[in-house]
Amino acid sequence: MADLSCKVGNLQLATPVVAAAGTYGYGLEFDGLVDWSMVGGISVKGISRDPCPGHSAPRMVETAAGVLNAIGLQNIGADAFVVQKLPGLRTLGPRIIVNCWGDSVEQYEAVVERLDGEEGIDALEINVSCPNRRQWGGVLAADTAATAAIVAAVRKKTRLPLWVKLSPNVTDITESARAAAGEGADALSLINTLRGMAIELGTRRPALSNLSGGLSGPAIKPVALCMVYDCVRAVEVPVVGIGGISSGRDAAEFLLAGASAVQVGTANLYDPAAPARISSELETVLEELGESSVSSVIGTLRTS
């Protein structure tokens, strides 16, 4: 059997498959539905300093090759997360990556400072790439100076591994990658969703109350693969690949492109056991490739 263990920087994972933030709730909702031993980590729903109600419905719509969402980063806030969710999460087994965000540098600092040092948190994932947070006035990661300022500020507030989640809604994602890595990011998660919209012909209105949302699912996989490949070669820190991964073969492609691990998002919405299933499928794919471990396949894409 292939060895599925891997590392993202200094963080050891049992498998390279992590449940992506925003698609797996707080993790506890899936207990009893998935084999946790086959899940490398859970990136929990994005946490802010204060509770956030998100956007009004409708805020999700299916598309031909994916899903548009404009949830608006709804969550219970850092204090409630630590008290109500974290104790149970610690008993599940996978690594706990807490995705977090703010509407200002000060709010990013505050939520990171609140979470730092809490038992059981293995890494923080800083979200600067949500495409439907109105209060941001745009995608923060599209501004390299803003990205650098946020990462520099939160780096001073935590000793935990710091992952930064980047946006595809930019001209050159390697600029964002360099900005985040240059200010102390330990790893980069990419990509977040692509900004898009859908229209209801019958009403002649947008399908989402927010007008636009973030597109995820199979449609964005080619974009994600290319951006992962580019960023792996642009920075020295590990890259975690995200975007349209629904099978072990998909995961293997990201590893070949150089990703140290992957995150599964939209597939969780129709298959709660997707992270474990994909890990199991990846094991079979590695054997088909004649590889004995995840580490032996990372970055082995042949380009000549």
Task: Give the chain's end-to-end CA distance (angstroms, integer).
Answer: 30
Are 246 and 266 in contact by the 8 Å Cβ rule? The answer is yes
Mean pLDDT of 223-238: 98
The candidate with the shortest Cα–Cα distance to 280, out of 45, 39, 20, is 39
The two beta strands, 261-264 and 239-242, are parallel
Percent of the chain with pLDDT over 70: 100
Which tens digit of pLDDT belongs to each residue from 163-191?
999 999 999 999 999 999 999 999 999 99
CA distances from 5 to 232, 247, 283, 287 (A): 20, 18, 11, 15
CATH superfamily of 6-288: Aldolase class I (3.20.20.70)
What pLDDT is recorded for position 139? Answer: 87
Q: How would residue 133 be classed by pLDDT, with cut points 50, 70 and 90? A: confident
Exposure class string for 269-280: b at 16+ Cβ within 10 A, else e: bebbbbbbbbbb
Please give the Cα distance from 158 to 115 (Å, whole number).
8
Closest CA to 6 of 263, 288, 245, 296: 296
pLDDT band at 104 (very low <50, low <70, confident <90, very high): very high
Average pLDDT, the chain: 96
Q: What are phi and psi of 189, to 5 degrees?
A: -105, 125
- Quick one: pLDDT at residue 51? 98
Residue 277 belongs to what H/E stretch? helix 274-288
44-48, 138-142, 207-211: range with lowest mean pLDDT? 138-142
Q: What is the predicted pLDDT for the residue at 63?
A: 95
Token pair, residue 282, equals 């990846």
Structure tokens at 185: 């990011």
Assess contact for 214 and 68: CB atoms under 8 A: yes
| pLDDT tens digits for range 47-88 | 999 999 999 999 999 999 999 999 999 999 999 999 999 999
At 166 the pLDDT is: 97
Amino acid 134: pLDDT:
78
* Mean pLDDT of the region 268-274: 96
CA distances, 183 to each of 109, 144, 178, 193, 280 (Å)? 14, 11, 9, 23, 36
pLDDT at 280 over 90: yes
C-alpha dist (Å) from residue 283 to 43, 102, 188: 22, 38, 24
* Paired strand residues for 67: 62, 216
As given in the structure block, the two tokens for residue 75 are 């969550």
Work out the angle at residue 170's Cα, subtended by the Cα atoms of residues 169 and 174, and round it to the nearest 5 degrees. Answer: 125
Give dist(CA 194, CA 235) in Å, integer: 22
Per-residue DSSP letter, 249: H
- The verdict on whether 52 is a catalytic residue reads no
For the chain, give the percent of residues with pLDDT over 90.
Answer: 95
Catalytic residue among 52, 130, 226, 231: 130
Strand runs (DSSP E) across the chain, as ranges?
6-8, 11-13, 17-19, 41-47, 60-63, 66-69, 95-100, 123-127, 162-165, 187-190, 194-196, 199-200, 205-206, 213-216, 239-242, 261-264
